[in-house]
Structure 1
Amino acid sequence: MKIPCTMPGLKGYRFPREIVAYAVWAYHRFALSTADVEDRLAERGVMVSRETVRNWVNRFGRHCADCIKRDRPGTSDKWHLDEVVVPINGEKFWLWRAVDANGNVLDILVQKQRNAKAASRFLKRLIDRFDAPRAVITDKLRSYIRPIRNLAPNADHRAHKGLNNRIEGSHRPARKREKLMGRFKLPGQAQRFLAAHDQINTIFRPRRYRLTAKSYHHARADAFDLWSAYTLEMTA
């Protein structure tokens, strides 16, 4: 089986842009390693090393994530914030994540600390991009209290673990990939991968249980149309 290639060539790259985009999509959409993607491409007649796949993922995963964030419709003004521990090279780091009321991942940030300073840094990133929210849902971590009071004084802060199930579920795909990758080796690697992974999964994993079969098929077709447009925008 061959991958059809009809788009203009990608300057500086030996392989067509459709093949590069397919590798990035397969890596982030499914729980695959770079070796798995290498084998899927080989079955399609494309001989490429896993190191090349890794370079493609690092280079163009960010491009696609930036395009998704750029084209996303207006976000909800109700945010859910949470943090989970991520072991990196034998040390404990914290993955801070924010999603809106629609389940869209707004941003992630890997940090060493889980204190008010770290919470303030993450919240400031969010407000700089999306403006202050109407409501913020967090768990009972007290480190959120002062940053929210200082940076979003008009926001309704609800600290209740039971209200934050939406974001708890958003951690699962990252946990699955973390296990597959045998833990992250560097904080920068974790930040780079998760920032792209969360955004790409946003468009290719709609909440299927809420959709009819016909609506799901339309959502999937729309996602592939967007991906084709992002593929055309790729540059070396």
Structure 2
Amino acid sequence: RRKRVQQLRAFSKWKWHVDEVFVKVNGKRHYLWRAVDHEGEVLEAVVTKRRNKAAALKFLRKLMKRHGCAEEIVTDRFASYKAALRDLGALEKQQTGRWLNNRVENSHLPFRRLERAMQRFRRMRSLQKFAFVHSSVYNHFNQERSLASRDTYKLTRTAALAEWRELGAG
């Protein structure tokens, strides 16, 4: 698994899609910042109380510390991204466009489904833990069905399930 993750990280520097989503924690609005690579793999998820330049900087620094610097960073037109990327010296790597960020917008959907099933969150820490665990499980089983033949898809899905069972048994 470690080898597979290292291979994924080697290619995750090409293009990142970054977005934030509103999440209610105990009745108060919090923000879940998420980064997804060009293949839909969730790279990072950070929960903050505010949606400003400082929060965007915190998120982008954590992302870059773990994964290096991307060649392109696709964002929406939220001004805090521009300000944070200017501080990091990566403003020329930012891309904004009307439908460019659909990759990360669609990656919010499985998270929202599970959030609804859990009947919301009570604490910010539990939201952060859930987002972290959900993204690693999602990455493990997400096989990009549209890009592979049926036989290849079945093989990779079976391998992922066997690896998951092995991890659960140990």
Fold similarity call, TM over 0.5:
yes
Please give the alpha-carbon distance, in whole angstroms, between the structure 2 residues aligned to 1:149 and 1:193. 31
Is 1:179 aligned with 2:102? no
Q: Residues 150 and 191 from structure 1, CA distance in 2 versus in 1: closer, same or farther, beyond 3 angstroms?
A: same
CA deviation after TM superposition for structure 1 residue 189, in Å: 0.5
CA RMSD after TM alignment: 2.2
- Between the two proteins, the alignment pairs up a number of residues equal to 168
Is 1:224 aligned with 2:161? yes
What per-residue deviation string (whole Å, max 9, x for no partner) do you get for residues 17-63 of structure 1? Answer: xxxxxxxxxxxxxxxxxxxxxxxxxxxxxxxxxxxxxxxxxxxxxxx
Q: Residues 152 and 113 from structure 1, CA distance in 2 versus in 1: closer, same or farther, beyond 3 angstroms?
A: same
**Could you say what secondary structure the match of 2:122 adopts?**
coil
Please give the alpha-carbon distance, in whole angstroms, between the structure 2 residues aligned to 1:164 and 1:216. 26
Aligned partner of 2:105 in structure 1 is: 168
Contact 2:47/2:124, CA 8 A, preserved across alignment = yes
Which residue type is aligned with residue 221 of structure 1?
T
Aligned partner of 2:43 in structure 1 is: 106
What per-residue deviation string (whole Å, max 9, x for no partner) do you get for residues 171-226 of structure 1? Answer: 00110011111111111001101111111111212121332210111111221243
Question: Any runs of at least 4 consecutive aligned residues in structure 1 with deviations exceeding 6 A, and if so which?
Answer: none
Q: Percent identity?
A: 33
Contact 1:137/1:158, CA 8 A, preserved across alignment = yes
Is 1:188 aligned with 2:125? yes
**Could you say what secondary structure the match of 2:57 adopts?**
helix
Q: Residues 184 and 72 from structure 1, CA distance in 2 versus in 1: closer, same or farther, beyond 3 angstroms?
A: farther
Aligned partner of 1:142 in structure 2 is: 79
Which residue type is aligned with residue 119 of structure 2?
G
More strand by share: 2
TM-score, length-normalised on structure 2?
0.89
Contact 1:116/1:144, CA 8 A, preserved across alignment = yes
Contact 2:18/2:33, CA 8 A, preserved across alignment = yes
- Larger Rg computed on CA atoms: 1
TM-score, length-normalised on structure 1?
0.66
Contact 2:82/2:91, CA 8 A, preserved across alignment = no
